[in-house]
Amino acid sequence: MVIIRRTNTKERILKESLRLFSSLGYHAVGVEMIAAAVKVTPPSLYKHFKGKQEILDDIIEQADKNYQEHIFHFDTFTTEELRDFDFEKFCEATMEHVDNVLHDEVVKSVRKLCMIEQFRNEELRLMHINNTYVESEETAKNFLSSLMKAKGIEVPPNIDHLARVFVAPLISTVDRCYCDPDFEKEGIEYIKSHVKYIWNNYFKDK
């Protein structure tokens, strides 16, 4: 997947840099290594980027755009549409987000990079916390609250806790699929059963 549509050389620099960063870690990769992977000289690489940090900044910017595209935009549904939500729609909305996070190569690779570098790079640590936990929990809380209100269900005072109960298994399962691709089929089935558990306990027959 092309990271960003600029010149072909810039595309290749970003693509190869992300591949190297996500497999070896940011600090283990030098400009010379990136240049060799792209099959250009280091001086040629510097014509496009000032250095490794600027490459990382571009990658992070593109990853954030991709991630935002994949966040479940529940606010696009009207109250009437949310009221008519059934399990199939609930599951479909959740699984579409999971599928995107699992298979968007930019998001996937940057998330791997964040996991590697979170104890050495403050920017990547904060990005990992925000994208993996904070935004996921906030989106889940707002979605569950909106769905409950639309269906006439009283929003529980512990909605923050419920949001974490909902997303934590999704996060851990996606992380396992990243490091254990053979687990993906089983992981997807587990997520579907978890989504069904949430639906049956909070929304069924409403």
Domain ranges of the chain: 1-62, 71-202
Tens digits of residue pLDDT in 129-173? 988 899 889 989 999 999 999 999 999 999 999 999 999 999 999
Q: Are 98 and 194 contacting, i.e. CB atoms less than 8 angstroms apart?
A: no
**Domain covering 1-62 in this structure, CATH number:** 1.10.10.60
pTM: 0.82
Distance CA 63, CA 107 (A): 5
Q: Which pLDDT value is given to residue 22?
A: 92
Q: Which pLDDT value is given to residue 69?
A: 73
Which residue, 50, 56, 45, 61, is CA-closest to 10? 45
Contacts of residue 47, defined as CB under 8 A and 6 or more positions apart, other chains included, come to none
Q: Which pLDDT value is given to residue 45?
A: 94
Neighbour tally for 82: CB within 10 Å = 17
Q: Are 11 and 2 contacting, i.e. CB atoms less than 8 angstroms apart?
A: yes
pLDDT at 14 over 90: yes
Separation of CA 12 from chain center: 23
